Structure 1
Amino acid sequence: MYLNCHTYYSLRFGTFSEEELLRLAKQNHVKKLALTDINNTSACLNFVREAPKYGVSPVLGIDFRNGADQCFVGIAKNNDGYQELNEYLSYHLHNALEIPQCAPDFENVFVVYPFEKVLLNEKHDFLPHEFIGISVKDLRRLPFSRLKKLKHKLVVQQPVTFRNKRDFNAHRLLRAIDNNVLLSKLDKNEEADLEEKMFLIENLVEVFSENRYILENTQKLLDQCSVHFDFSKNRKPQNLKYYTGSKQKDEVLLEKLCLEGLPKRYEKITESIQKRLQKELRLIKEMGFVSYFLINWDIVTYAKKQGFYYVGRGSGANSIVAYLLFITDVDPIDLDLYFERFINLCRANPPDFDIDFSWHDREEMTRYIFDRFKHVALVGTYVTFKYKGVVRELGKVFGLPKEEIDALGEGKTVALKLDSMAKLVLKYGKLIEGMPNYVSVHASGILISERPLHCFSATFIPPKGFATVHFDMVIAEDVGLFKFDILAQRGLGKIKDTLAIIRQNRPEKVNFDIHDVSKFYTDPVINNLIKTAQCMGCFYVESPAMRMLLKKLEVDNYLGLVAASSIIRPGVAKSGMMREYILRHRNPGRAEERGHPVMLAVMPETYGVMVYQEDVIKVAHYFADLDLGEADVLRRGMSGKFRSRDEFEKVKGKFRNNCIKKGYDEKLIDEIWHQIASFAGYAFAKGHSASYAVESYQSLFLRAYFPLEYMVAVLNNGGGFYRPEFYVHEARMLGAAIHPPCINQSQIANVIYGKQIYLGFMYLRELEQRVMQRIVAEREQNGCFESLEEFVDRVPISIEQLSILIRIDAFRFTGINKHELLWKAHLILSKGKRSGHPKLFPPKRQKFQIPKLHTTDLETAFEQWELLGFPLCSPFELLQEPPKSKNGQRDLHRYLNRHIDIYGYLVTVKNTSTHKGERMHFATLLDQYGEVFDTVLFPPVAAKYRFRGRGIYRFYGKVVSEFGFLSIEVIKMQKQDYVPDPRYADMKTGNRKRLATSHRLEGLGEF
């Protein structure tokens, strides 16, 4: 009897989940009801999936509204009707159109107009599928309206939006947030009625007892409605069924591609390779995943034709078929990758392929997929209300001052004497926190379906311009839609750009194949970089944590790097197994002494320690006797929404029961479960780690043999883990001469000539993009500039923009001091005016006698700091007092287990908490010789000393070694002062020469 029910996917309107709606229906003896969220279908599929658990027959529809103004409710008779509704809503969402007051002539949809709207619009003619909705509140007015004569058109439309008064209050707050108004100013028309609740079905029938025909009409309508989606374990995939159009052709093509790939990938095709290939092909065909592989092959084939670099990773990297199709560059035979992690007969979903492209190329690849295949959409995701955001929004709704909102957001409630308003913010903040705020786009997922995606959901168009479904990846998999992951990654952009820079700067050296990574694995130069952690700028191995791990593990080979790539993940460290792995790696015999025989038997390569995702499957299968399907449920259930699923809870119980039956000690069971629970959701599949290691080796090869070109590419791709200044510093340490932007040498991005690196105009934060483009275009077309005057004649520019270029010394080729150039610039251009377009004859300019001016190195450094964000000299040269200690990273070994006095320029700080919740810091710094060292501030010291932003700090602490990695346990520290900025120091001492000069120049105007 309920045709108009909302969940909190009626965004900023509804107040509870689809499961709460079903629970409410069961409590009120409702056997069939329609979910009709407002202009949204996010909850629909999960509503259908969950409904049988509550004894409810699900009906789907959409409540079409313009804001809070209800136009009509569309209720699907069947799946075709649901598709009609989705297509209609999507058309309006895609084109940002208002919903018409009258519904179109649907074929498989019932339309219910609200009683009030029909009265106001004086609609008289109704099509067979159109009805008028009567709520409990409307019953009082029905006898006095003209609509009482239309008995055959009246149905029950009792909206369901709230469970109680608290929900109503939350609803009002959500509406105020949506309208960006104070709660006291919220228009009543923006609210739902307090009576939009679900009543016991018996009570509802009693209320309508005098109008039984309305109940009969409603029941008749509901009886004609039924939708079905297959959520069973043996559901068929809904992805594109056949790549070529037929099953036979697909299978023939896949086999042909594999046979073509064999001699390209393997010099000697052994029997084990043949057996592995045949086993995989048989399973891929049996599971119906042939088209899935061919689609991925199609995507990477197009990328190769376009010259786009890519890396294929994910569990699919465990597959020899993927290796032969060049979807991945990871050899599963060489790495002995666990086949059952990739695919098994108990697994309903296909293997996961994450294909990384350069951030430059990803959008074109996405567009290709949309153009190449018929039914395509991006996967959605839900952006929920987070605590700070809720507090900020509710603070505004209640009219709290900004300072109080900030304090509440930071959790500083003790310092505040909370008034009633602040208490309400916190009270309702907890209720609203976690609710969906809006639907966004999954970071990488693309759906390629056999049927139109409007069979499953409406779609919207985010800023990137690609249709996106309303549901997330979990629901997509539930219904049999398996995403293709197309990701953007800057690491690949670095590799691609480095190769282009090498061709330009050192063309004679382009005699290598960047994809022939097997040669890199045995290169002693590259492996020494890994062992010594000289990996600045290199993909996945440059962070302080990774640098620390590489040194502790003494990694100097490919397999070691593969393991390190997964060990560094949060879960392994959280379970305490990172430390145990290092201990077992460094101490032969410890594994046999400490490890369980079953664990050692299934994971000998990692000393019986779970490192990779497939280790969870191995342990669950061999240690706890779960079948492979159950083991995979366990692996998937360790992260995200799946953890709360019934399937996961059942498998979790079986894991424990099986272990008890096998006679394992309770303590051992708890320990193994703790390891699984703490790390499975974060760990990589081994093939995934191997893919990362491949890209790391490619980056390391370029870093080893073309270090300056590589650093330029790193900078041009936005850097990496660190700020740009540290990659500039690294380039200098590697032998480059670094120059600030130059009118005649620089491009928008950084550029290198031999060993001379010219910073790009892009670092001048206040320089307009169009000015950069004009400079480069004019220079390329008509040659270099010879003077400031010529530059002004050729490039349209304002005095403000020109001043930025002069201050950074971009006209130093003229040999004229920049202060004198500023005089000239102001004489040529008055403030607020721009230079003209290039003229046929250069204008005659009056010559002026400009006083001789000078610039100090100190002035230059502070000018660079202001304009670039960092100085090009050593920051230690700017200290007010020179360092009292000459110690650097090179001296740490001499001070082992002793105290050291050392200065460091802050690179990065990691703030973390102990298991007791106490704050501590790990900091990485540069010493005065440009070398990196690390410090740790344990809670007592962290409570006393804090890092106060960028700058140079003096430390006193103890040098300690952990597995050979040296760091300093700080006892005390102090931030050091820089010299005053000389550009403003003159003003403070009364020397206002520059200010006066500026005023005089501004008053001169044009001559």
Structure 2
Amino acid sequence: MNFIFTVIQAKTMYVELSCKSNFSFLRGASDSRDYIARALELEMPAIGVADINGVYGLPRAFEALRDSGVPLKLICGSEITIENHPPIVLIARSRRAWGLLCRIITAVHAGKIKGEGHISLAELKDLTAIHIGTRELTCILKNDLQNNFIFFKSIFKDQLYLSLCRYVDGMDKKRTNQALQLSNQFNIPIVATNDVHYHVPERKPLQDCLTCIREGVILDEAGFKLFGNDDRYLKSPLQMQMLFSDLPEALANTLKIADQCQFSLSELKYTYPKEAVPQGHTAQSFLQELVMKGARDKYGHVLSFEVDRQIRKELQFFNKRGEEDYFLTMHDILKDAREKKIVFQGRGSAASSIVCYALGITAVDPISANLLFDRFANEARPDPPDIDVDFEHERREEVIQSIYARYGRDRAGMVAAIHTYKQKGAYRELCKVIGVDVGTLKADVVKSRFIELAGKYSAREIFLEPLMQEIAEFPRHIGTHSGGFVITNDPLVETVPIEPAAMDGRTIVQWDKHDLETLGMMKIDILSIGFLTVIRKATELVGIDWRSIPMNDVDTYKLIHKAETAGCFQIESRAQMNSLPHTKPVIPYEMTIQVALIRPSMSKGGMSRSYLRGRELARRGFPFKSGLLAMDKIIGRTHGIAMFPDQIMQIAMDVCGFSSSEADGLRRSLGKERSAQSVDTQGQKLFQALIKAGVKMDLAQDILNRTQGFASYGFPEAHAASYGALAFKSAYLKTHYPAEYLCALINSQPMGFYRIDFLINEAVRNSGVKVLPVHPLKSNWDAVMEGPRTIRMGFRDIRKIRRDDVEHMISQRHIKTFVSIEDFISRTSFSKDVLNHITIMNGFECFGLDRRHSFWKSLAFKNLVGFKVSLEQLSLFDEKTEILSDAPVFNSMTNLEEALIDYRMTGYSLQGSLMKQLRLEIPHLPGTHSGLLKMVKKNSMIACAGILLVDQRPPPAKGFGFITLEDEYGTIDLVLRPAIYDQYKSIFRSSRFLMITGKIQRLDDHVTIVVETVESFALKSQIRSHQPTPRMLDKLNWP
């Protein structure tokens, strides 16, 4: 009877206050959720997580605890690194103490090298002296003689404790005596802890591996760097009672601290920034005024009933939730960008909102596009609406820095991204740990090494697979989200610690987007698209407003139908270009469909073919009819195919009678991160409701099948509409202003699918654009327009060149034009390598020198002492050196030699098509080119040659490869079956010059070759030149 009582009593006699999770990078060997699960198993009343210099893992523990429904208390703390002092553990007992803890952690990281954060005693004193939360912060010191006990006693007073661990390693008596002596000397109570690094002892091998990775050693050499036993796990209260039977007060103090901790992460309430509004306005009235003004600008002074009704519906919804300041914040951020002439456009589900459209956040009219507002915001979603905005990629940083400047570093921070161990990286790291050279990673070597260590290293067997499973998804380091920003009205730094990002000038919060969603905190996404940069630069050259580009231009649709869309946003991929001649979009909504068609969800669910069949029937006068008016209204415009998750959601509400909450739950279950079981459960629920509503069995089954496709990847219709509009506008610019658009593309690299040389060759071939080479007297950093349909290339593409040097050269040119190569060298600051590149690519032709003469002349100049010499020295040297005479002592280069040099130096050549020159140099190349393919009969065997342009093997293609070759007349599309791709991939991954044989396939006007064989070809003759150019084509420095 007494034993039973003792066991029951022991269950509540101890709380572990400071577990280290895997966010104590390369130290903790368990996830914070593992600790929650284990604490529940042990029936503990509370559990504490205290990672090193961070609170990264706490939201995950909080979520696991919330989902369990068990009233287990989560104690929130952190182990703080102190400069020249043992670390301390700080525990927040209240919301105010949490705010101070976050400020302390922020100070730990501020201005420090990543991974080396610390805080001085002076800084700690200053922070605690002025903050009211100090009285509600508990401090636990290590059992270390180096502690400044008097200092910490003066700050934390009766909330200061001394930790005592018992590792069962023969040193526990010594530790205990030391702790008792210090406790008595400084009147500091002792608190028991097990220095927990993992939730169960079976994680000890993984913790050892993490230690080896951290220390850069192998297991055989780790020695005392490893823990001596596996005792640092989350022990039960009964185990700790037995371990501390002589010091019950140390266990009691854990309960005392836990009982005093009243703080919960649920207390963190997000507050929108309170934006300044004009006098006489509230946030609600000012937002309404801005929206109504924007709506009248877009729809006309008199709003239609439908527009007015939707505006009032949305404003009422946002007012009810108190989200007006959120939209005013976005409005002000974008107003600032607009004033700086930074191009932007909202994307994602935000385009479903007429409020976003009226405020100029998005560019798609949700009324005419019939977009579903509930996809953006609805009563079932407690979290704030998610607004994603794309900015031109070269100027996004201006927007980011303006946000920091506007709100301050203590109220704004970018969202963290947790970079985790993936299978390949984990495998390599673990192999390093066991001493296998990563250059010789072979399965049998690795396995034998682990077997060898199984008996040598530990009583437990060490196997690779269990370790890889355990380390999978462990955090490796903290990065920065692609564009997520948290902005608050109250100090953000008292809600979550902020630390420097890897990129200078940026700071990030310690939580990722999932953590923020768990805690109900809003983020905005400041993203980027390279094509917005292209569109801005092109429209500046043309002198038009990109927002005014018409969406019904017939000539643009003709270009799209011909699939001449290389360099156009979203419709330049091989898959898109293959589909365009069949889909032939003719209206803006069909551009929305076009963007959505080439997605894994479409191919996996077979939607693409079904859509095309349905559209063809509609064009023949047989539109889709389901027998239900509500269903036809939703999927009639996509010809009977539920193409977007929004449509599934709308079907659930309008056809099946789901509430907005139920429909949103269904939509969320279709997310790509959800489990197959979740998708199946919700899908079956929808299927039964469809049958009950009178939907025919085959259509209900088809809709159910679509949900499986969405589970792999599917984005909102509003997102597709936004991207479809940008795709069309980029195609419009290419159609009507091909030179200006090409110039903008060149000046926005690197981006897109295609190399500069292909884009140049296509524009010259199809649009009559003239492209002129770099000229020391005319070129700038960027390419410029030099006349109608004429582009002058800039210096930016020359290898190793620095923009500052080019700007200096331009400033010298403005002072006085360069008159000779000597003058150019003496007044510019280019390095020897760059000057070499300029000369051998014929940059000094303007001074009457060909490539070889200018190269040797500049080479001689560069050998002068100090390289930079006066004009007189150069002239004197020129007179005395026969090789520098202007007399032609070298044979001229061939076009092919010049082209090879150009590719080496810049990645492009203006010498004409390289394939045309190769056919002259290599007579045995097949004569069939891309211009003749349409004349070849279907199923005919054919041989052709070209330069590799695109190599793709997308996951949905089930192992098939898709390659595009370029020749002098255009492109050749190849399809490789899985076995063929695997057989020849070593060739086309090492050589860009390919000869293939295969069988012709034709679908309408589009021709592809199903490949049978692949081989590479190279230039057999040597480059006849006295300068270091590559001698074989495959040695070119391709971009």
Give the alignment's TM-score, normalised by structure 2. 0.86
Query: Is the Cα contact below 8 Å between 1:311 and 1:695 reproduced in 2?
Result: no
- Aligned match for 2:513, one of 445, 449, 473: 473
Distance apart, 1:910 and its partner CA = 0.9
Query: Is the Cα contact below 8 Å between 1:155 and 1:217 reproduced in 2?
Result: yes
Matched, 1:78 2:94: yes
Partner of 1:807: 840
- Aligned match for 1:107, one of 119, 128, 135: 135
SS at match of 1:447: strand
Query: Is the Cα contact below 8 Å between 2:556 and 2:735 reproduced in 1?
Result: yes
Distance apart, 1:313 and its partner CA = 1.8
Give the alignment's TM-score, normalised by structure 1. 0.88
Matched, 1:855 2:897: no
SS at match of 2:246: helix
Cα deviations by residue, 1:308-332 (Å, 9 ceiling, x for unpaired): 1111122111111111111112111
Partner of 2:4: none
Question: Structure 1 residues 262 and 597 mapped into 2: Cα distance closer, same or farther (>3 Å)?
Answer: closer
Partner of 2:638: 606
Partner of 1:92: 108
Question: Structure 1 residues 336 and 156 mapped into 2: Cα distance closer, same or farther (>3 Å)?
Answer: same
- Aligned match for 1:333, one of 367, 385, 400: 367
Query: Is the Cα contact below 8 Å between 1:591 and 1:607 reproduced in 2?
Result: yes
Matched, 1:309 2:343: yes
Partner of 1:538: 568
Question: Structure 1 residues 77 and 165 mapped into 2: Cα distance closer, same or farther (>3 Å)?
Answer: closer
Cα deviations by residue, 1:836-885 (Å, 9 ceiling, x for unpaired): 47899987853433362122223212212322234433222124225432
CA distance in 1, matches of 2:228, 2:639: 61
Partner of 1:269: 303
Cα deviations by residue, 1:883-938 (Å, 9 ceiling, x for unpaired): 432442453255234444433322101124678x6x32111222332x22312112
Give, as a single letter, the amino acid of the residue that structure 2 aligns with 1:80: R
Distance apart, 1:770 and its partner CA = 4.6
Give, as a single letter, the amino acid of the residue that structure 2 aligns with 1:861: A
Give, as a single letter, the amino acid of the residue that structure 1 aligns with 2:890: L
Query: Is the Cα contact below 8 Å between 1:708 and 1:736 reproduced in 2?
Result: yes
CA distance in 1, matches of 2:216, 2:626: 60
1:160-175 alignment runs, 5 A limit: 160-175=196-211
SS at match of 2:585: coil
Is 420-429 or 107-116 further displaced after alignment?
Answer: 420-429
Question: Structure 1 residues 147 and 70 mapped into 2: Cα distance closer, same or farther (>3 Å)?
Answer: closer
- Aligned match for 2:601, one of 548, 571, 577: 571
CA distance in 1, matches of 2:1015, 2:878: 55
SS at match of 2:158: coil
CA distance in 1, matches of 2:654, 2:352: 20
Equivalent residue pairs, number: 965
1:864-883 alignment runs, 5 A limit: 864-872=902-910, 873-876=912-915, 877-879=917-919, 880-881=922-923, 883=925
CA distance in 2, matches of 1:545, 1:957: 20
SS at match of 1:564: helix
Give, as a single letter, the amino acid of the residue that structure 2 aligns with 1:62: S
Cα deviations by residue, 1:574-632 (Å, 9 ceiling, x for unpaired): 22112211222223488748999975453111122122231231244356543222322
Is 944-953 or 365-374 further displaced after alignment?
Answer: 944-953
SS at match of 2:592: helix
Is 448-457 or 87-96 further displaced after alignment?
Answer: 448-457
Give, as a single letter, the amino acid of the residue that structure 1 aligns with 2:48: A
1:242-261 alignment runs, 5 A limit: 244=277, 249-261=282-294
Partner of 1:788: 821
Give, as a single letter, the amino acid of the residue that structure 1 aligns with 2:648: V
Distance apart, 1:36 and its partner CA = 0.6
Partner of 2:10: none
- Aligned match for 1:460, one of 481, 486, 499: 499
SS at match of 2:56: coil
Matched, 1:194 2:230: yes
- Aligned match for 2:61, one of 47, 50, 53: 47
Query: Is the Cα contact below 8 Å between 2:50 and 2:78 reproduced in 1?
Result: yes
1:303-702 alignment runs, 5 A limit: 303-373=337-407, 375-405=411-441, 408=442, 413=443, 418-420=448-450, 424=463, 427-462=466-501, 463-502=503-542, 510=543, 512-517=544-549, 520-588=550-618, 592=624, 600-622=632-654, 625-639=657-671, 654-655=685-686, 658=689, 672-680=703-711, 682-702=713-733
Partner of 1:957: 998
CA distance in 1, matches of 2:689, 2:161: 57
Query: Is the Cα contact below 8 Å between 2:52 and 2:78 reproduced in 1?
Result: yes
CA distance in 1, matches of 2:383, 2:281: 22
Give the % identical residues.
Answer: 23
Query: Is the Cα contact below 8 Å between 1:66 and 1:98 reproduced in 2?
Result: yes
Give, as a single letter, the amino acid of the residue that structure 1 aligns with 2:249: Y
Distance apart, 1:187 and its partner CA = 6.4
- Aligned match for 2:745, one of 709, 714, 720: 714
Matched, 1:130 2:160: yes
Partner of 1:998: none
Is 243-252 or 124-133 further displaced after alignment?
Answer: 243-252
CA distance in 1, matches of 2:956, 2:412: 46
Question: Structure 1 residues 885 and 151 mapped into 2: Cα distance closer, same or farther (>3 Å)?
Answer: same
Partner of 2:1021: 980
Matched, 1:205 2:241: yes
CA distance in 2, matches of 1:535, 1:914: 23
Partner of 1:834: 867
Partner of 1:999: none
SS at match of 2:721: helix
Could you tell me which runs of 5 or more consecutive residues in structure 2 were left unpaired when the two chains were aligned.
1-14, 129-133, 453-461, 1032-1039
SS at match of 1:295: helix
Give, as a single letter, the amino acid of the residue that structure 2 aligns with 1:429: M
Query: Is the Cα contact below 8 Å between 1:920 and 1:938 reproduced in 2?
Result: yes
CA distance in 2, matches of 1:521, 1:684: 22
Distance apart, 1:379 and its partner CA = 0.9
Give, as a single letter, the amino acid of the residue that structure 2 aligns with 1:580: S
Query: Is the Cα contact below 8 Å between 1:537 and 1:720 reproduced in 2?
Result: yes
Cα deviations by residue, 1:785-805 (Å, 9 ceiling, x for unpaired): 221111122224454432222
CA distance in 1, matches of 2:363, 2:152: 68
- Aligned match for 1:8, one of 22, 38, 42: 22
CA distance in 2, matches of 1:312, 1:66: 45
Cα deviations by residue, 1:543-572 (Å, 9 ceiling, x for unpaired): 111112222211122111011112222212
Query: Is the Cα contact below 8 Å between 2:782 and 2:796 reproduced in 1?
Result: yes
SS at match of 2:860: helix
SS at match of 2:478: strand
Distance apart, 1:115 and its partner CA = 1.4
CA distance in 1, matches of 2:799, 2:81: 44
CA distance in 1, matches of 2:274, 2:30: 37
SS at match of 1:29: coil
CA distance in 2, matches of 1:75, 1:656: 50
Query: Is the Cα contact below 8 Å between 1:449 and 1:481 reproduced in 2?
Result: no
Query: Is the Cα contact below 8 Å between 1:64 and 1:70 reproduced in 2?
Result: no
- Aligned match for 2:81, one of 65, 68, 76: 65
SS at match of 1:141: helix
SS at match of 2:547: coil
Distance apart, 1:713 and its partner CA = 0.8
Partner of 1:147: 182
- Aligned match for 2:926, one of 848, 861, 884: 884
CA distance in 2, matches of 1:353, 1:119: 49
Cα deviations by residue, 1:382-438 (Å, 9 ceiling, x for unpaired): 000122222232333333224213xx5xxxx37988543798555533332211111
Could you tell me which runs of 5 or more consecutive residues in structure 1 were left unpaired when the two chains were aligned.
503-509, 991-1007
Is 10-19 or 92-101 further displaced after alignment?
Answer: 92-101
Question: Structure 1 residues 890 and 283 mapped into 2: Cα distance closer, same or farther (>3 Å)?
Answer: farther
Distance apart, 1:68 and its partner CA = 13
Cα deviations by residue, 1:748-770 (Å, 9 ceiling, x for unpaired): 22233124433332222234555
